[in-house]
A = this chain, B = another copy of it.
Amino acid sequence: MARYQAGIRTEARIIDATRELLGENGLDGTTLKAICDRAGVRAGSFYNLFESKEDAVLQVVKDAIRAVDPHPKRDAPDSLNELVEAYISFVSGQPDVARVYLKIAISGATNGSLGGSMKRHHHRRVARFSSAIARENPELTEAESEVRAEIVLATLSGLAFMWMLEPKFDFEHRARLAVYAPLLNS
C-alpha cells in the first residue's frame, strides 16, 4: 500500500538526473544508462518506478513547460513587467529547468507527442503577453498587440538561447533592455 521512503528518494534522484541530462545533452544524449548511472541506480529499479524512459522524460518536460508559465498568483491580470520579470527569474533561478525547456520543448516541438502540447503552451503564452500589452497600450488594435507579444516572446527566447550557448551571457540585462527600453510606449 504505502510507498517506502527509499523509493520516493530514488524517484526524485532519477527525475533530477533526467532533468540534468536533458539540459546538458539533449534528448538523444539522455540514455537510460546515463540516467541510471547518474542516479546511482540499476535498470531494474528505474522500471520499478517508471513505466518507460519516455515517462520520466515527459514528467520533466511537462514540469518545465509548467514552470515557464505558472498560474497567476493574484486574481488581477498580469502586467508586461511582471511577465518579463517572471521569465527572467525563471531562467536565472531555475537554470536546469530552463535549459530543458529551451532544448527539449522547443527542439522537440515540431515532432512527436510534445508537438501538440508545445503549440498549446505557445498560444497560451502569446495570449497572456498580448492581453497585458493591449491593456497597457490602448491605442493598439488586438492584432497589433498580438504581433508585439510574439516579438517580445521571440526576443526573450532568442536571448535565452544565447545564454544557453554561453553561460556567461548576461541574460537579465539584455532582456530588460530589449523589452523595456525600445519596444513599447515609444
By a beta-carbon cutoff of 8 Å, the part of chain A in contact with chain B is 24-29, 102-103, 105-111, 118-119, 122, 147, 150-151, 153-159, 161-162, 164-166, 173-174, 177-178, 182-184, 186
Among B106, B165, B177, the residue within 8 A (CB) of A151 is: B177
| B residues near A122, Cβ cutoff 8 Å | 162, 165
| B residues near A29, Cβ cutoff 8 Å | 111
The secondary-structure label for the interface of chain A is helix
| B residues near A119, Cβ cutoff 8 Å | 165-166
Supply 9 further A-B pairs (C-beta < 8 A) apart from A109-B161, A119-B166, A151-B177: A28-B28, A106-B107, A106-B161, A107-B107, A154-B162, A155-B178, A157-B157, A157-B161, A178-B183
Q: Do the beta carbons of A26 and B182 come within 8 Å of each other?
A: no
| B residues near A183, Cβ cutoff 8 Å | 178, 182-183
| B residues near A165, Cβ cutoff 8 Å | 106, 109-110, 118-119, 122
| Copies assembled | 2
A124 to chain B, nearest CB (A): 13
| B residues near A147, Cβ cutoff 8 Å | 173-174, 177
Q: Do the beta carbons of A24 and B110 come within 8 Å of each other?
A: yes
Q: How distant is the Cα of A165 from the Cα of B182 in the complex, in angstroms?
A: 26
